[in-house]
Amino acid sequence: MPQQRPKISHASRALTYTVQASNEHGEQVATEIAGEGPLTLYLDKREIVTLMTLGAAPEALALGYLRNQRLVGSIEEIAEVQVDWETEAVAVTTRHGVTHDEKRLGKRTVTSGCGQGTMFGDLMEEIERIHLPEDAILTVATLQALLENVRHHDTLYKKAGALHGCALAQGAEILYYVEDVGRHNAVDAIAGMMWLDGISGSDKIFYTTGRLTSEMVIKAAQVGVPFLVSRSGLTRMGWEIAQKVGVTMIGRAQGRHYLIFTGEQRLQRTSMPAEVAHP
């Protein structure tokens, strides 16, 4: 736990809504859909960004965004996080005021959208900051148990679709599971929760339903997690960055199937399956 935990609101809002639709037979079907709304982030009264979010974990999302964008250096600097859905705003107040890095804020001008820019300007710098533990080990049995736990996890996605989920796990145990309309929001919220609870990533596993693009790999590595597991596929740049930062990247993980793309030395296979050992 951080020495000084910020005062935070707990302002989750309605996450799903029921709307009427017609199916292919012309029948009325009540259908659940995911919430989505704007949330404007203010840091010491300065407007930083407007996030389109489900709104399940707005305080953690704001903190994780500030953490991953390197706009605030430590959780101890933050005095308060207040979400107000009336004004669709989250106000983050620091203890001593932050020196706004105009160059860093300015860089974001040339970055926007889904796969449209983002943090590329700082990419090489980010990669060099990241140091992942070499000696972390994941056994195949733990990985399979985790995938089974993820499969049975009660998610909004199963009800409403149109959401991505991210989880942080210790062994097969899911510590956090966050869903949002954007993959990046979900990973940012996990980063915020880890910050709030003073949790290190070095012995954890990061799971995502989303694709492993460049930005997802960097964001998972930024919080120091050596294992990255996705239900989906990956891109070449995600793969290249995973190699550079030395993350163990496992993709297309569904049911009992998965593919290990990088960092295979951290995966421990049992020397002989039980059914072979005892025929």
Scanning residues 11 to 50, which ones bind its own copies (CB under 8 A)? Answer: 17, 19, 21-24, 26, 29, 31, 33-38, 40, 47-50
Total of residues contacting its own copies (CB under 8 A): 73
Nearest distance, CB of residue 69 and its own copies, angstroms: 9
Instruction: Provide the sign of the torsion angle of the four alpha carbons 134, 208, 60, 215, taken in this order.
Output: positive
Alpha-carbon gap, residue 264 to 154, rounded angstroms: 30
Cβ neighbours of 123 (radius 10 Å): 15
Do 216 and 210 touch, CB atoms closer than 8 A? yes
Under rule CB under 8 A, residue 222 binds its own copies: no
Question: In which region does residue 223 sit, left (phi positive, over 0), alpha (psi from -120 to 50) or beta (all else)?
Answer: alpha
Q: Measured from the CB atom, is 164 or 204 closer to its own copies?
A: 164
Nearest distance, CB of residue 10 and its own copies, angstroms: 21
Q: Measured from the CB atom, is 113 or 279 closer to its own copies?
A: 113
Q: Measured from the CB atom, is 176 or 261 closer to its own copies?
A: 261
Give the residue among 93, 113, 90, 97 at the shortest CA–CA distance from 189.
90
Under rule CB under 8 A, residue 127 binds its own copies: no
The number of CA neighbours under 13 Å toward the Cβ of 244 is 19
Under rule CB under 8 A, residue 121 binds its own copies: yes
Stretch that binds its own copies, among 76-84, 130-138, 168-176, 259-267 (CB under 8 A): 259-267
Among 86, 103, 110, 154, binds its own copies (CB under 8 A): 110
Alpha-carbon gap, residue 188 to 68, rounded angstroms: 7
Instruction: Tell me, residue by residue from 71 to 100, as one string, x for binding to its own copies by CB under 8 A and - for no binding.
Output: ------------------------------
Interface residues for its own copies in 159-218 (CB under 8 A)?
160-162, 180-185, 211-215
Encoded tokens for 163: 């959401």
Alpha-carbon gap, residue 230 to 26, rounded angstroms: 37
Q: Measured from the CB atom, is 68 or 199 closer to its own copies?
A: 68
Q: Where do we find the tokens 């910020």?
A: 6
Q: Measured from the CB atom, is 148 or 264 closer to its own copies?
A: 264
* Partners of residue 248 on adjacent β-strands: 227
